[in-house]
Amino acid sequence: MPDILHKVAIKASPNAVYRALTTLDGLAGWWTNDTTGDSNVGGVIRFQFGDRGRIEMKVVELVPNRRVLWQVVGGPDSWIGTKVSFDLSQDADHTVILFKHAGWKEPSEFMHACTTKWAMFLMSMKSLGETGKGAAYPNDVHIGHRGD
C-alpha cells in the first residue's frame, strides 16, 4: 500500500515541535484553528475544516519529544483506518520531522492532492515553530481551486 512521506526541519527544540503536535493550541496553530478533543493517548482529536469536513484522529502512541502516532477514525472514506506518524530527531539547532501517512488502499487522485496539501501544512508547522505564525485553516495555502 502506498504511503505519503515527507521530511521537514524546523529551527526549534524537539520539545517545542512535540508540543505543536500534542496540544490543542499547538495543533490549532498549523493545521486548523478549530481543533478540539482529547490529545492524550487513547483520546480523539477533532480537526474541523469549516464546511469542508472534519478529521478525527485517535492518539495511538506518544513518545515525548520523539514520536506521535495517530489513527484516523473519522474523515474521508479513504482516510479511515490509515495512520499518521511524526518521528522527531534533533540535528544541531533544528528538529527533523519524518512524516508518514500510511495505509492508503490506492494511489488515487485524492491521495496525490493530500500529499501536496500535507506539505503545505508541514511547512505551516515549520513557520509556526520558527516565526510563531503558521498557516492553519482557514488561512492555509491552497494547492487547487476548489478550496483545497
- Widest CA span in the chain: 41
51 contacts a second copy (rule: CB under 8 A): no
44 contacts a second copy (rule: CB under 8 A): no
Which positions ≥6 away from 31 have C-beta within 8 Å?
Answer: 47, 121, 124, 125, 136, 137
Q: What whole-number distance in Å separates Cα of residue 61 and Cα of residue 89?
A: 16
Nearest to a second copy of 60, 119 (CB atom): 119
Closest CA to 55 of 39, 38, 32: 32
16 contacts a second copy (rule: CB under 8 A): no
Q: In this chain, which stretch among 14-22, 29-37, 52-60, 109-117 interacts with a second copy, using CB under 8 A?
A: 109-117
21 contacts a second copy (rule: CB under 8 A): no
119 contacts a second copy (rule: CB under 8 A): yes
141 contacts a second copy (rule: CB under 8 A): yes
Contact between 25 and 31 under an 8 Å Cβ cutoff? The reply is no
11 contacts a second copy (rule: CB under 8 A): yes
Residue count, binding to a second copy (CB under 8 A):
33
Q: In this chain, which stretch among 18-26, 47-55, 63-71, 112-120 interacts with a second copy, using CB under 8 A?
A: 112-120
58 contacts a second copy (rule: CB under 8 A): no
4 contacts a second copy (rule: CB under 8 A): yes
Give the single-character DSSP code of 147. Answer: -
Contact between 68 and 57 under an 8 Å Cβ cutoff? The reply is no
